[in-house]
Amino acid sequence: MILNGQVALVTGGSRGIGRAIALALAQAGAYVVINYRGNRPAAELTLEELSDKGGRGELSQFDVSVEKEVDGAVKQIVDGQGKVDILVNNAGVTSDGLLIRMKSEDWDQVIGTNLKGTVLCTKTVCRVMIRQRYGRIINLSSVVGQMGNVGQSLYAASKAGILGFTKSIARELASRAVTVNAVTPGFIETEMTAKLTPQLQEEFLRSIPLGRFGNCEEVAQLVVFLTGPGAGYITGQVIGVNGGLYM
């Protein structure tokens, strides 16, 4: 229970990696606010599982790309819980396809959710953390933001932007005992990888030295460590969970 008494906000916490992070933080003792944008049934299932395992938390519906909604949601959390100790910027979308076929609305959606959403949530929450003189911010980027990938130029741009943002904000907030780090998952077993054809899965597996896809819990355990007392001297870092795909 290394996070006992702490309050965590996990954006996009209803499914996939976000869900695993929410559950892991709760098991470590944190009170977890699970953000979702539209899929309430999935969010409710995550909260139910969290509660069944002895964790505590609540749901918070807002769009991370809309500043007014972010500000209102964080205010409600602080009004109810008194603080925010941990922010995990996990909410993300992708719109895959070749650049020449890109539509402006694809750009707006991907950059708006992945990069702008990370910036807006960090901007609002870090005000609380500065007053507290304590905080842990974890930004979920991607191995694609480090190495690129055909057909994912928008996604790669948004995730690469998160890396630069992480390092800059880590410098800005260090004097207030707020650490900021980025986690870059590789190919993780989620709904997205499940949709890949067997041929594509085999092709990707051949490029991973460990010879397998990762699982959501492996990403979540790294996040728990980075939010705990053992990571107090780690900030501005990019840590990969990719099976050796990118070194």
* 198 contacts 234 by C-beta, under 8 angstroms: no
Distance (Å, rounded) from C-alpha 203 to C-alpha 116? 32
Cα 161–Cα 183–Cα 237 angle in degrees, nearest 5: 80
Measured between alpha carbons, how far is 12 from 28 in angstroms, rounded to an integer? 19
- DSSP 8-state code for residue 225: H
Helix-strand-coil split of the chain, %, nearest 5: 50, 15, 30
Pull the structure tokens for residue 240.
């990969």
Active site residues: 155
CA distances from 45 to 11, 50, 60, 168, 224 (A): 16, 9, 14, 36, 21
